[in-house]
Amino acid sequence: MAVRTAPAEARPRRQHARTGRGGVARAMPRLKTVLIAATAYAVALLFLFPYVVMLLTSLRSQRSLRDVTFWPEEWVWSNLADFWSSGLAGNLWVTLKVAAGSTVLVLLVALPAAYYSARHRFRGRTAFLILVLITQMFQPTAMVVGIYREFFQFGLVDSIWALILVNGGFNLAFAVWILNAYFSSIPRELEEAAFIDGNGRFGALFRITLPLAMPGVITALIFTFIAAWNEFVVALTLTTTTENQPLPVALNSFIGQYQVDWQNLFAGSVIATIPVIILFALIERKVVGGLTAGSIK
């Protein structure tokens, strides 16, 4: 997997664009391009549509929420601010703690494992990597009953630590996998040179290898954060009191009630959704590579 573009590869791009088709077919492709672009934009809008509806609904007044109109009659931007004083803000805080906690846990555990398995051959290395790959295939949904029974016995039901552990465990595989690929792509000689220059083993690791692997670290970090942020089934199973529920669970139970402040619900979804879409856009390319690692070459 080519994970890092060496500076030497950055050739001038313009040259590439000009060596297209000959000038004869110039006029025809233009119409084709228009059609292609129009279709692509329409598809793009279709995929954004639900989130636009979500944003528009969150900006309606309580009174006009169930009006049969597409655009809100008045734009109540204060809904997004009011969310913070609603009970759901506490649930957003829980989500943030779970996501941040899982991310830290994954980095602490995955970094050394990925580094060592990329740099050293040791007994059980292959077994370890297979274990990681198999875990990547497992999802908590199918085994949620086992997870519940385990944490019930630990007395950790309704505890934030249970959610951090489970989210960390299930996202570990992706992090180890992508970090392993990054560390493997960094020439050992670079690290050895730094070592010889008197940096010590850890100095070389922290000054040379880790900075070079930063794109991988950031990808693993954002991926884990988003996955934990969005997680629903485990949180639904392991939390019992409203104030300990992460936002998705709280929002879902919100719907079942009568007399719902729907605009709070939609403000909550907007606040929970927009940031992760932007974060995800930053790492999308590397995620495809990480998820399909070992298969596409």
Find all residues with CB under 8 Å of 180, minimum gap 6, and list them: 114, 117, 118, 129
Helix residue ranges, H only, the chain? 14-18, 27-58, 78-82, 88-119, 125-137, 144-154, 160-185, 188-194, 200-204, 210-212, 214-230, 233-238, 247-255, 262-291
Closest CB 207 distance from another protein, rounded Å:
19
Closest CB 268 distance from another protein, rounded Å:
9
Shortest CA distance to 156 belongs to which of 141, 142, 169, 166? 166
Using CB under 8 A as the binding rule, the residues of this chain from 146 to 165 that contact another protein are 146-150, 152-153, 165
Using CB under 8 A as the binding rule, the residues of this chain from 210 to 239 that contact another protein are 226, 229-230, 232-233, 237
Using CB under 8 A as the binding rule, the residues of this chain from 69 to 88 that contact another protein are 70
Closest CB 197 distance from another protein, rounded Å:
24
- 166 counts as binding another protein under rule CB under 8 A: yes
- 195 counts as binding another protein under rule CB under 8 A: no
Q: Which is nearer to another protein, 173 or 221 (CB)?
A: 173
Cβ atoms of 240 and 157 within 8 Å: the answer is: yes
- 123 counts as binding another protein under rule CB under 8 A: yes
HEC string of 18-47 equals HCCCCHHHCHHHHHHHHHHHHHHHHHHHHH
Binding another protein (rule: CB under 8 A), the pick from 39, 75, 190, 201 is 39
Name the one residue in this structure whose structure tokens are 């029974």.
149
Binding another protein (rule: CB under 8 A), the pick from 129, 156, 210, 212 is 129
Closest CB 147 distance from another protein, rounded Å:
4
Residues 51-70 vs another protein: string with x where CB under 8 A?
A: x-xx--x--------xxx-x
Total residues at the site for another protein (CB under 8 A)? 97
